[in-house]
Amino acid sequence: MKKLYIKTFGCQMNEYDSEKMADVLHSSEGMSNTSDIEEADVILLNTCSIREKAQEKVFSDLGRLRELKQNKPNLLIGVGGCVASQEGKQIVNRAPHVDFVFGPQTLHRLPDLIAKRLETGKSQVDISFPEIEKFDHLPRSRQTRGSAFVSIMEGCSKYCSYCVVPYTRGEEVSRPFEDVLTEIVGLTEQGVKEITLLGQNVNAYRGTMGNSKEIADFALLLEYMSEIPGLDRIRFTTSHPKEFTQRLIDVYDKVPQLVSHLHLPVQHASDTILAAMKRGYTALEFKSIIRKMRAVRPNLSLSSDFIVGFPGETDADFEKLMDMVVELNFDNSYSFIFSPRPGTPAANLMDDTPYAIKLKRLQRLIAQIDAQALVVSKAMLDKTERVLIEGFTRDGAHLLGRTENNRVINILIPPNDVAHPQADSWIGEMLDVKVTEVLKHTLRGELAYVPA
C-alpha cells in the first residue's frame, strides 16, 4: 500500500481540504496516511497565503524535499492550497522537482493529475475555479472520531483591503442545501457527535433547495441540522459580522446544539481602521451583535481575530481596540501584526509605525486576552462540564477532550483503569467531567462517573 504524507498550513478550511485529499487518494489509489515523511510515496503541501512570506516558506520546504526526491526518484510531490493558486506555474519554474500543482477547488482531480504526470513525464498545473464541482466528486468521509468538519461554501466576496482569499479561493459559492445535510447525516451515522461548519464567510451561506428557486440561508441550515439524530453539538467558523443577522441570533434561542462559544472576527475597534480595512461595519454595530447574542446566551464565550499595526493605526486607535477587548470580554484570539499581502490594496498604504511599537501593542493585547481567559477558566473550577473526548495525551495517562466553550481539558484516567478495556470506546463520546485544576491554557479534570 502506498503511503501519503500531507503537511497542512493555515486555517481549518485547509485542515478539511487535507482530510479530503487523503480520502480521494485512499479511494482512488488505495493510499494510507503516514506521519513519517521518509516512507512517503506521495508528499502534499497544503499551503496558506495569509501570513507574511508564505510563499518563501513553501519554497524553503520544497528545497528540503529536493534531496529527498533525489534519493527516491519515484517520489511524487504536489503543492496545493492558496499559495498554489497564487503562484501556479511559477512553483514548477522555481522548483522543477514538483510534480503537480493544484488549487483548493481542484483537489478532487488529484488522481488525474498524478496519472497525467506519470503518463507524460511533465509537471501538471490545475488551479482553476470550477465552483463546487469538487464536492460532487469527493468520496464519503472516513471518520473514526466524534467530531468532523463540513465545508458548506467556498470563496469570499468581501474583498477586505488586506486579504488575498478572494483571489486564491474565488468568489463565494454555496453548496446545495440537501448535499450539506446528506454529508452531515452520513457523518452522524458513523458516530460523529460534533460538526463544525466551515467557510471563509460561513454565515454568508445561501444554498439552493432541491429543484426549486428557494434559497436556504445559514439560519435555516442550522435549524434543519438540529433535527438530525445523534448530533449533539454544532460549531462554525469563520463568520463575518456583516452576515450576522437577527435570524441567526434568534436561532441561538431555539437550537440548544449550538455551542455557547462564538468566534467572530472583528479585526479592530477603530472605525477609521475598519473603514481602511473595508470591513463594512462599525465598532458600535459589532458591539450590538454581541449584546444581542448575550441576551439569548448570557454565558457566551467570545473569541476573535485582531490585526495590530494596520497602516495608519495611531495610539488612540489601538486604545479603542483595548477598550473593546475589555468591554466585550474576549477570552481567546488569533492576533497578528499586519503584514502586507502582495496584490491587495492595503499593500500600497503608507505604513510608518515602527515595528517595535507594533510588537508592544500586540504583546499588550495578548496579555489582556490571556488574563481574561484565565478568569473565565477559573470560574469553571469544581464545576462539571460536558466534554467531547478526542483522544489520549502523549503519556497515555490522560484522556484529551474539549469543553463546550472550546477549552482543552486533560482528564485523569481512573486508577487501575489505564488499561481499561473500554477506554478506547470513550473516544468520540460526550462525558461529564469535573474540572479540578486550571492551568494557563488548559484545564485538568476527572470523570464525574466511569462509563460502564
Residue with cell 478568569: 375
Helix (H, G, I), strand (E, B) or coil at 241: helix
CB 447 within 8 A of CB 432: yes
What is the sign, positive or negative, of the torsion defined by CA atoms of 66, 72, 76, 80? Answer: negative
Q: In angstroms, what CA-CA distances link 144 with 2, 193, 323?
A: 21, 11, 43
Annotated binding site for [4Fe-4S] cluster: 11, 48, 82, 156, 160, 163
Burial 105-140 (b: 16+ CB within 10 A, else e): bbbbbbeebbebbeeeeebbbbbebbebebbeebee
Annotated binding site: 11, 48, 82, 156, 160, 163
CA distance 325 to 413: 37
CA distance 1 to 17: 22
Question: What are residue 26's phi and psi, to 5 degrees?
Answer: -70, -45
CB 18 within 8 A of CB 6: yes
